[in-house]
Amino acid sequence: MIVTIDGVAASGKSSVSSGVARALGIPYVSSGLLYRAATLLGLEAGVDLHDAQALLALLDTHAPRLEPLAEGNRVWAGERELTDALHSSRVDAGVSVVAVLPELRAWVDAQLRTLPEPFVAEGRDMGTNVFPQAGAKFYLTASPRIRAERRARERPEDIPAIEAALIRRDAKDKVQSAPAPDATVIDTGPLTLEGVIGVILEGLGKGS
């Protein structure tokens, strides 16, 4: 079984997916971390983030791999753990450039499609492009202000700066971020994290 949870930036995809995965006793898969890993490696090597061939060469050398655990995904490049470095504002600002490159999308999709079921997959195009056959699909939204207020609890920048960056990233990610026609769209704005997880479990017939 595959459950997909897509949505806009900072809409709660990874927190919600982790909660749903733990309730189901299966892993979740954070596809955005692979785009973030490619971005981090590109920034560290000083390559042009528009240069797909240079990025693919780095991915070939460092071979980053996703460890999809229910409590939180980790990314490794050989013995080095990249996870903590993947959510900096620098990576946030560059990742949308990398994520529109067809060659990079093909690389991420190929990694994801090797993973053994069952799992919850979160990202932008899990329900549309990568796993169109998924048994259940959800799509999370919330206003930019609410998302910025939530994110401000974990970043040093102030709410207006985070909100502006989220609006910019939404625009850049728009092409690959449309909800699947058969996805249940959830406005998380008025809901707590536990509330969103509860709505999804209810939708899966696993509610309490």
Ligand X SMILES: Nc1ncnc2c1ncn2[C@@H]1O[C@H](COP(=O)(O)OP(=O)(O)OP(=O)(O)O)[C@@H](O)[C@H]1O
Ligand Y SMILES: Nc1ccn([C@H]2C[C@H](O)[C@@H](COP(=O)(O)O)O2)c(=O)n1
Q: State the nearest-atom distance from the C-beta of 106 to ligand X, in Å.
A: 21
Q: State the nearest-atom distance from the C-beta of 77 to ligand X, in Å.
A: 19
> Distance between CA atoms of 25 and 113, rounded to whole angstroms?
20
What is the DSSP track for 147-167? HHHHHTTTSSS-HHHHHHHHH
* Residue 151 binding ligand X, by CB under 6 A: yes
Q: Is 22 helix (H, G, I), strand (E, B) or coil?
A: helix
Is 196 annotated to bind ligand? no
Q: Treating both helix axes as pointing N-terminal to C-terminal, what angle do 89-99 and 102-113 enclose, rounded to 10 degrees? A: 100
State the residues that interact with ligand Y by CB under 6 A.
9, 13, 31-32, 35-36, 95-96, 99, 123-126, 169, 173, 176
* Residue 14 binding ligand X, by CB under 6 A: yes
Q: State the nearest-atom distance from the C-beta of 160 to ligand X, in Å.
A: 17
Instruction: Give the footprint of ligand X on this chain (CB under 6 A).
Output: 7, 9-15, 32, 150-151, 153-154, 188, 191-193, 196
Annotated binding site: 7-15
Annotated binding site for ATP: 7-15
